[in-house]
Amino acid sequence: MMLRIKRVPTVVSNYQKDEAEEGARRVGGCGRNCLSQCCIPGAKLPLYAFKKLNKIDGDKELPGSEKREPPVAFLDSLLLGEWEDRMQRGLFRYDVTACETKVIPGQFGFIAQLNEGRHLKKRPTEFRVDKVLQPFDGNKFNFTKVGQEEVLFQFEASEDGEVQFIPSAPIEPENSPSVVAINVSPIEYGHVLLIPRILEHLPQRIDRESFLLALHMAAEAGNPYFRLGYNSLGAFATINHLHFQAYYLAVTFPIEKAPTKKITVSDAGVKVSELLNYPVRGLVFEGGNTLQDLSNTVSDACICLQENNIPYNVLISDCGKRIFLLPQCYAEKQALGEVRAELLDTQVNPAVWEISGHMVLKRKKDYEEASDENAWKLLAEVSLSEERFQEVNALIFEAIASGDNGNANLLEDPEVKPRSHEEVDVINTSSHAAMTRRSIWKLSLFHRLCFNRLLSEEMKKGLHPQMQWISYVTQSGRLMHVMMTKIHHVGKVYHLKAKRQMTENLGQVAKFRQRYEKTAAPKEEP
């Protein structure tokens, strides 16, 4: 059974019409200056060419903090100047600066905005929410159908490694440019859309290249109040054409103030933490030896969620130095009729901005009654349960570690063939150490997640015979065996230490397995 919800879709372009109107216009021709093949030949748009920032300074901060005043100030002023120009030309559906906004008194400082113009003059549409990955459909609205006047500039990496701005640069279809366009239904000042490789017709799914582009934009802007967000399908994205959103808000988001607990640091130097004392469970990524290391780690986690059909939202914060990954289940609950009527009546769709603490409210009543308690109630419905969150974490960390280790998935490759002596000799000592450290990191992380989950369940329910836990521990034991074999054949630097550690871990796994199997065994009748 397909899960669907009805909601009023956000109008992000003045050319976004109902399906019937779209069909009628296709029959009659384009009739506008769009980004499709009919209008692109000979078209020109401004081009901002950014400098690729890969190295991190000695203070281990990401490039967003570098003192590069001219280019940073220029991107900021360029984006806002072009955005203001479109406002003066009347391209927005309403004046967002006239929307009432307040910080809700209380511990968390949730931000409430009354935005009555976002959902007007649009009828509810049915959306499928049980499938995160869906093919691109060119018959539906996509960003190639926007008018060129809604595009602020092209955003591409510089060919010579230096920041450049070209006021009028040809659009090259063969290179499929990335563009920054206005959102005609803005949530805040400077609300824009980053659309990677727009002419490739990419569906709404994150890949490494597109996520790195988003981080470059955050770092290049260099403004801590400029944040980028991403919504997957099933997590309140309404347009299945790859895009990120971004806007300015000169207030710290509640999620940015939430305490965190470090889980691990990857071999690439990316610290992964868990959000604490926040209504939505999530992970926080920061650091990394390079900007690409951070990007790859987060994008691998996103790809894992996509492939496992888990809806999620992403917030890129602090000039690209902190990234929040938030799996969610609100739309699924809504489709199943599990969300309370009082929450549905608010018509709030908890996407990335709402989850981050910026509550966009559509009714005056909800705005006047906004409180920490009400915001918490809504967001608590968005969050995965603790048990499910730990399951998802196990998948994420498995994917991250596999990406760190050349995309090898050890769980799917239990039969490891020993290397020949010649192959071992070819691998140098540094490779031995690096690969071994990655393997040990992956082992300890997966082992910790496995036992945290088991112990949590044991405390909640006692030792009930649930076969999924036995399977989980068995899988953990198999992973350890495979990794011990790999370490044995990859290098001898840490071999004895790793072998002792894994032997101890395998012993603990065996004890847990025996304990659960004994509990699950049928009792003999007297």
Identify the top-confidence range among 244-253, 337-346, 438-447, 467-476: 244-253
Pick the catalytic residue from 119, 216, 243, 447: 243
Active-site annotation holds for 489: no
What is the reported pTM?
A: 0.74
At 449, the pLDDT band (50, 70, 90 cuts) reads low
* Cα gap 276→274, rounded to integer Å: 6
What pLDDT score was predicted for residue 3?
64
CA atoms within 13 A on the CB side of 301: 25
Residues 440, 441, 442, 448, CA torsion sign: positive
The amino acid that residue 459 corresponds to is: M
Residues pairing with 271 in the sheet: 265, 286
Q: In what order do the strands lie in the sheet with 358-361?
A: 100-103, 111-114, 358-361
pLDDT digits (tens, 9 = 90+) for 276-309: 999 999 999 999 999 999 999 999 999 999 999 9
- The pLDDT tens digits of the residues spanning 483-523 come to 443 343 334 333 444 445 555 555 555 555 566 555 555 55
* Number of Cβ atoms within 10 Å of the Cβ of 200: 12
Among the ranges given (112-116, 156-160, 433-437), the one the predictor scored with the smallest mean pLDDT = 433-437
Distance CA 333, CA 3 (A): 10
What is residue 369's predicted lDDT score, i.e. its pLDDT? 94
- Phi, psi for residue 168 in degrees, rounded to 5: -145, 100
Residues 388, 400: Cα–Cα separation, whole Å: 18
Domains of the chain as residue ranges with CATH: 4-18+39-382 (3.30.428.70), 405-520 (no CATH)
**Residue 215 pLDDT:** 97
Whose tokens are 């603990």? That residue is 508
Go through 305-328 and write b for each residue having 16 or more CB atoms within 10 A of its CB, e for each that does not. bbeeebbbbbbbbbbbbbbbbbbb
Per-residue pLDDT band for 19 (boundaries 50, 70, 90) equals very low
Query: In Å, how far from its chain's centre is CA 321?
Result: 14
Cα 41 to Cα 187, 252, 403, 477, distances in angstroms:
33, 44, 40, 59
Mean pLDDT of the 203-219 span: 97
Residue 159 pLDDT:
86
